Amino acid sequence: MKRVVKRVKRMARKGSTANRRHPLATVALIAIGLMFTGGGYALFSSTATAETSTASQTTIDEGKKLFAANCASCHGLDLQGTGAGPSLLGVGAASVDFQVGTGRMPMAMQGPQAMEKPPQFTAEDTEALAAYVASLSPGPAVPDDSLLDGDGDASNGAELFRINCAMCHNVAGAGGALTEGKFAPALTGVAAVHIYEAMVTGPQNMPVFNDKNLSPEDKRDVITYLKYIEKNPSPGGYELGSLGPVAEGLFVWIFGLGAIVALTVWLTAKSN
């Protein structure tokens, strides 16, 4: 997108110096260019339209200061990225809110992946950072509360979750292993807004589930399902971490058979 904009500028400059084109050609070209980029962007992300309109200039300035002090050493002063961290142009407010809001950013250290930890910034600071990053280039916005209420179709959400998410996060959202020490984290106790933002932005090893792939309604259903299993503990009793047969097998050997063997020892013990 950046490249397209540059080309448009270059062409515009050439047009104005040579004076060989209609005075309105520049305007028309810019309009066409904007339509292409805007339209193309809309194809990829239909929620992008609602973004950043509310962020005031003071918030953005505040975010800029915070960014320069806390993030720029890795991500660059102009968000362009450095050897230590990727460019943040186009990641949007949603990405910042997810990474900073869950404590993954700033990272404590380089590792297979950024670990979740207590957030390092207050909610206002996180918002300011998000507003600043979003002000420089368009990207996915923080989702609307109506998508996060967990009142969607749990059954549809469960099916989507099994098909799209369970291979890494486990059917019950208990998490799972990836390659080279990376992992898909457990989803219990994760805020709805962060689940949504993760789907939209695809943090770290996670793929992006854009709105063509899973519509905002579908994402709402997935959140509904995850919140359902979080709020309704297993009807069968304690879940043993929802880890499946491995946990069950360990439990039966250690506690089940352990208890029974202890009882056999007790039964055959000689009375004192």
Partner 1 sequence: MSTVTTPDTAPAPAPTQTSSQRSSTSRFTEAAANYIDERTSISGVVKEFGRKIFPDHWSFMLGEVALYSFVVILLTGTFLTFFFQASMAEVVYNGSYVPLKGVEMSTAMSSTLNISFDVRGGLLIRQIHHWAALTFIAAIGIHMLRIYFTGAFRKPRELNWVIGFILFILALAEGFTGYSLPDDLLSGNGLRIIDGLIKGLPVVGTWISFLLFGGEFPGTDIVGRLYSLHILLLPAILAVMLALHLVFVVVHKHTQWSGPGQTKDNVVGSPILPMFAAKAGGFFFIVFGVIALMGTFFTINPIWNYGPYDPSPVSAGTQPDWYIGFADGALRLIPPGLEFELWDRTWSFNIIIPVLILTGLIVAVLVYPFIEAWITGDKREHHLLDRPRNAPTRTAIGVAGVLFYAALWGAASSDLIATHFQLSIEGVIHVNQALLILGPIVGYLVTKRVCLALQKKDREIALHGFESGRIVRLPGGEYIEVHQPVDEYERWKLVDYNDYQPLMIRPNAQGKITSVQRLRAGMSRWFFEDRIAPVSPKEIERGGHH
Q: Is residue 237 a contact residue for partner 1 (CB under 8 A)? A: yes
Q: Is residue 39 a contact residue for partner 1 (CB under 8 A)? A: no
Q: Is residue 183 a contact residue for partner 1 (CB under 8 A)? A: yes
The three-point CA angle 3-9-12 to 5° equals: 140
Q: How far is the CB of 160 from partner 1 (least distance, A)?
A: 10
Cα 209 from Cα 80, distance rounded (Å):
24
Which amino acid makes up residue 2? K
Q: Is residue 244 a contact residue for partner 1 (CB under 8 A)? A: yes
Q: Is residue 42 a contact residue for partner 1 (CB under 8 A)? A: no
The three-class DSSP label of residue 31 is helix
The residue from 87, 137, 205, 242 that contacts partner 1 (CB under 8 A) is 242
Q: Is residue 40 a contact residue for partner 1 (CB under 8 A)? A: no
The residue from 79, 114, 190, 229 that contacts partner 1 (CB under 8 A) is 229
The residue from 48, 94, 131, 158 that contacts partner 1 (CB under 8 A) is 158
What is the pattern of x (binds partner 1, CB under 8 A) and - over residues 95-134? -----------------x----------------------
How many residues lie near partner 1 (CB under 8 A)? 57
- Return phi, psi of residue 177, to 5°: -90, 145
The three-class DSSP label of residue 82 is strand
- The interface region with partner 1, picked from 35-43, 50-58, 154-162, 197-205 by CB under 8 A, is 154-162
Q: How far is the CB of 93 from partner 1 (least distance, A)?
A: 30
Cα 170 from Cα 237, distance rounded (Å):
19
- The interface region with partner 1, picked from 8-16, 19-27, 121-129, 230-238 by CB under 8 A, is 230-238
Q: Is residue 89 a contact residue for partner 1 (CB under 8 A)? A: no
Cα 214 from Cα 68, distance rounded (Å):
35
Q: Is residue 263 a contact residue for partner 1 (CB under 8 A)? A: yes
End-to-end CA distance of the chain: 86
Neighbours of 121 (CB within 10 A): 17
The answer to whether the CB of 205 falls within 8 A of the CB of 143 is no
The residue from 53, 179, 271, 272 that contacts partner 1 (CB under 8 A) is 179
Q: How far is the CB of 270 from partner 1 (least distance, A)?
A: 8
Cα 142 from Cα 151, distance rounded (Å):
19
The three-class DSSP label of residue 117 is coil
Cα 123 from Cα 249, distance rounded (Å):
43
Helix (H) or strand (E) holding 197: helix 192-201
The site for partner 1 (CB under 8 A) is made up of 112, 154-155, 157-159, 162-163, 166-172, 174-181, 183-184, 225, 228-229, 234-240, 242-246, 248-253, 255-257, 259-261, 263-265, 267-268
